[in-house]
Chains A and B, each alone.
Chain A
Amino acid sequence: MNRRMLFLLAGAMSAAFPLIASAESQLTVYTAVEAVDLDRYKATFEKAHPDITINWVRDSTGVMTAKLLAEKDNPQADVVWGLAATSLLLLKTEGMLEAYEPKGVEALDKKFVDKDTPPSWVGMDAYVAALCYNTVEGEKLGLKAPTSWDDLTKPEYKGHIVMPNPASSGTGFLDVSGWLQMWGEEKGWTFMDKLHENISSYTHSGSKPCKMAGAGEAVIGVSFEFPGAKAKSAGAPIDIIFPSEGSGWEAEATAIIAGTANLDAAKTLVDWSVTKEANEMYNAGYSVVAYPGVAKPIEHLPSDIASKMIDNDFEWAANNRGTILKEWQKRYDAKSEPKS
Chain B
Amino acid sequence: MTMSLAIDYAPLGKPLRQEASRDDLVKMGFMAVIGLYLIIALGAPLSIMLSKSFSTYRFDLAAFEFQVSDETGETWGAPVTADALNRELGSVTDSELATSSDGRLAATKFFKDFSFRSPVRYRIRGTTDDTAFLVGSALEKGTQWREYDSGTFRRVVLRPASSLGFDNFKTYFSTPALARSIYNSALMAAISTVVTISIAFALAYGLTRSCMPLKGLFRGILTIPILVPSLLPGIALVYLFGNQGVFKDWLMGYSIYGPIGIVIGSVFFTLPHAFLIILTALSVADARHYEAAASLKASKWRTFTTVTVPGARYGIVSAAFVVFTLVITDFGLPKVIGGQYGMLAVDIYKQVIGQQNFEMGAVVSVILLLPAILAFAVDRRMQRRQVALLSARAVPYAPKPNARLDGLCLAFCCLVSLFILGMITMCQIAAVVKFWPYDLTLTAKNFAFDLMDGGGWAAYGNSIKLALLTALFGSLVVFTGAYMVEKADGFRACRGVFHFLAMMPMAVPGMVLGLAYIFFFNNPSNPFHSIYGTMTILVLCTVTHFYTVAHLTALTALKQMDPEFESVAASLKQPFHRLFFRVTVPVCLPAILNIAIYLFVNAMTTVSAVVFLYSTNTKLASVAVLNMDDAGDIAPAAAMGMMIFYTNVAAKLIHALIARGLLTRTQAWR
Contacts and interface: CB of A to CB of B under 8 A. Distances in A.
B136 A165 contact: no
B631 A70 contact: no
Q: Which among B177, B342, B615 has the greatest number of chain A C-beta atoms within 10 A?
A: B177
B465 interface: no
Contacts of B176: 330, 333-334
Contact of B350 (A204, A211, A315): A204
B491 to A, nearest CB: 40
Interface in A20-51: 34-36
A169 B134 CA distance: 25
Contacts of B303: none
A312 to B, nearest CB: 14
A309 B275 CA distance: 57
Interface string B127-141: 000000010111100
A27 B509 CA distance: 38
A115 B136 CA distance: 9
A300 interface: no
A235 B354 CA distance: 31
Contact of A322 (B100, B138, B341, B522): B100
A339 B137 contact: no
A303 interface: no
Interface in B213-243: 238, 242-243
A152 interface: no
A106 B439 CA distance: 48
Interface stretch (A7-15, A52-60, A267-275): A52-60
B473 interface: no
Contacts of B355: 167-168, 325
A212 to B, nearest CB: 6
B518 A70 contact: yes
A57 B439 CA distance: 35
Given A60-B453, A338-B339, A207 B139 contact: no
Given A93-B139, A168-B353, A329-B177, A216 B437 contact: yes
A168 B353 CA distance: 7
Contact of B102 (A216, A322, A329): A322
B99 interface: yes
Contacts of A315: 136-137, 155
A35 B102 contact: no
A63 B623 CA distance: 13
B356 interface: yes
A322 B342 contact: no
Interface stretch (B45-53, B189-197, B257-265): B257-265
Given A325-B355, A333-B177, A339-B258, A92 B616 contact: no
Contacts of B335: 204
B75 interface: no
A92 B137 contact: yes
A340 B630 contact: no
A212 B632 contact: yes
Report the interface size class on chain A. Answer: 35 or more
Contacts of B450: 35
A89 interface: yes
A334 B180 contact: yes
B117 to A, nearest CB: 18
Nearest to B141: A95
B305 interface: no
Q: How many B residues are at the interface, by size bracket?
A: 35 or more
Given A211-B632, A217-B243, A338-B339, A235 B438 contact: yes
Contacts of A58: 616
B395 to A, nearest CB: 50
Given A167-B354, A318-B137, A217 B238 contact: yes
B522 to A, nearest CB: 6
Contacts of A333: 175-177, 342
A202 interface: yes
A208 B137 CA distance: 31
Contacts of A320: 104
Interface in B331-381: 335, 339-342, 350, 352-356, 358
B549 to A, nearest CB: 30
Nearest to A340: B254
A93 to B, nearest CB: 5
A334 B177 contact: yes
A94 B99 CA distance: 16
B616 A57 contact: yes
B425 interface: no
Contact of A35 (B242, B243, B341, B453): B453
Given A60-B453, A211-B633, A236 B177 contact: no
B435 A120 contact: no
B207 interface: no
Interface string A64-84: 011001100110000000000
Contacts of A114: 137
A124 B356 CA distance: 25
B438 A236 contact: yes
A321 interface: yes
A229 to B, nearest CB: 14
A215 B356 contact: no
Interface in B80-103: 99-100, 102-103
Contacts of B452: 35
Contact of A116 (B138, B259, B342, B352): B138
A329 B139 contact: no
Chain A CB within 10 Å — which of B134, B340, B342 has the most? B340
A73 B435 contact: no
A62 B136 contact: no
Interface string A311-340: 000010011111101000110011011111
Interface in B236-253: 238, 242-244
Contact of B630 (A70, A205, A336): A205
Interface in A188-231: 200-205, 207-212, 215-218, 227
A284 interface: no
A215 B243 CA distance: 9
Contacts of B108: none
Contact of A338 (B100, B341, B615, B630): B341
B255 A339 contact: yes
B102 A321 contact: yes
Contacts of A200: 255, 257
A237 interface: yes
A92 B435 CA distance: 42
B99 A322 contact: yes
Nearest to B255: A339
A90 interface: yes
B339 A201 contact: yes
12 contacts: A60-B627, A60-B631, A115-B136, A208-B632, A211-B631, A211-B633, A319-B155, A320-B104, A321-B102, A329-B177, A333-B175, A334-B177
Given A204-B630, A325-B355, 6 more contacts: A94-B139, A115-B136, A207-B631, A227-B632, A330-B175, A333-B177
